[in-house]
Homo-oligomer: A and B are copies of this chain.
C-alpha cells in the first residue's frame, strides 16, 4: 500500500488508536518506516512514539533533528519522555533538552536523574495533594478551579504541613461524601509508601501483593513527590516475566526488532558458554573411549541419559526460578520443597529408568546394558532435581539473578553426570 499515496494513508490512519499506529510502524520494513513518518508529516500523535518498541523508536529518533525530537517529547508524559531521552547519546540529549521550554526541562532532568528501572522513573509527578484540615467541598472546588491537573487520577493524597503523605481518599469515596466532611475523617491512613529509588520489580511486587491501584512515592526525607498507578505496573510485570523467560533461554533481551548484528551479539555469550560446557562434557566422554570402542551401543545410548536429565532439571529449575521471582520459594520452605522434588524425581526417574532399561535390553539383547542405563538414568534424574532446586536458590542468595545463569549450571551438571554415570558404570560392569 506504501506507494506514495500519502493522503489516502493519512486519512486511513486518522482515527486509529496511537497503539495501533505504533503496531503498524513496527510491522513495516525500516525503509518504509521513515517514509511513513514523512507522509504523516508531523500529524502523528506523540503517544505513538511511546507505544513503539524501544528498538524501532531508537531507529526513528536517530533520523530526527533535535528540534523535532524536542517538539514531540514535550507532548509526552514525563516518564515516557524520559524513556525516549535516555536512549539518546549524551550530546544529542543536551541539544534536545536545550530546545525544551524551561519549566518542562526541569522535570525531564529530574526524571533522568533517577536510576533506570527505579520507582522515580515510573512515577508521575502530577498529583492532587490536599491538607488534612480541608473539607471535601474545598477539595472539589480546588479541583474545579485548577487547570493544571493530572490527566487521570484515582486518589486524592492528604499531606501534613511538611508535605509528608498521611492518608489517601479514593475518588469514589470523595464523590459520595457531603461537602462539609473533613478529608481527615474519611481518609485511609494505611498506605504503602514507595521510596523513589525502589527497584521497579519490587514496586510491581507490592502492587500485586496488596492489590494496589495507586501508591505515593516519597523522597528520602519522606516528602510526597509522585504517584505510581497500576497501569504503569502492567508493563513492568509483563517486562519482568518476559525477561525471565528470555534469560532462561539465553537471550539477554527482547531482540525481535533489533538489527542482525546486535541480535547476533545478544545471543552470542550464551552460545559461547554452551560451547565450553558441551566441550567439557565431551572431555568427560573421552575418558571412556576404550569402553565405547569395545561396546559401541554405549555411544548410541548415551545421549538419552543426558537428555532426560537435562529436561527433568529444566522442569525443576523453571518452577524454582519462577517461585523465587514471585517470592513463593523462600528459605523457610526451601528444604521442604527440595524434599518434594527428590520424591518427584524418584517417582518419574524410576519409571523412565525401567522403561529405558527394557528398551535397551530389547534393542541390544544384553540385560546388563539395560541395567546400566537404568541405574544411570535414575541417578541423573535425582541429580537433576537437586541441581534444579539448589542452583537457582544459591544464585539468588548470592544476589545473582537465577534466571541468567541457572540453566548453564544445571544442564552442564546433568550432561556430565549423565555421561559419566552411564559410561563409568558400563566400564565397571560390562568390561
Q: Report which A residues bind B (CB closer than 8 A).
A: 17, 19-20, 23, 26-27, 29, 53, 140, 143-144, 149-150, 152-154, 170-172, 174-178, 207-213, 230-231, 233-235, 237-238, 241-242, 244-246, 248-251, 254-257, 259-261, 263-264, 267-268, 270-272, 274-275, 277-279, 281-282, 285-286, 289, 292-293, 296-297, 299-304, 306-308, 311-312, 314-315, 317-319, 322-323, 326-330, 332-333, 336-337, 340, 343-344, 347-348, 351-352, 355-356, 359, 415, 419
- The contact sample of 15 A-B pairs, CB cut-off 8 A, is A143-B175, A143-B176, A154-B172, A234-B237, A241-B245, A249-B319, A251-B319, A254-B322, A256-B329, A264-B347, A267-B312, A282-B303, A285-B300, A289-B297, A296-B299
List the B residue with the shortest CB-CB distance to A336: B29
B282 near A304 (CB under 8 angstroms)? yes
Provide the bound-state CA to CA distance between A102 and B328, in Å.
Answer: 38
**Taking the nearest CB of chain B, how far is it from the CB of A147, in angstroms?**
10
Q: In the complex, are the beta carbons of B318 and A251 less than 8 A apart?
A: yes
Question: How many subunits of this chain does the assembly comprise?
Answer: 2
For the A-B complex with A153-B172, A264-B344, A285-B303 known, give 5 more contacts whose Cβ atoms are closer than 8 Å.
A207-B234, A234-B237, A238-B238, A281-B307, A285-B300
How many Å lie between the Cα of A143 and that of B242 in the bound state?
A: 42
Q: Is the CB of B315 within 8 A of A19?
A: no
How far apart are A422's CB and chain B's nearest CB, in angstroms? 12
Query: Are A256 and B311 in touch, CB under 8 angstroms?
Result: no
Q: Given known contacts A175-B143, A275-B355, A344-B260, is B152 in contact with A170 (CB within 8 Å)?
A: yes
Cα of A248 to Cα of B311 in the assembled complex, Å = 11
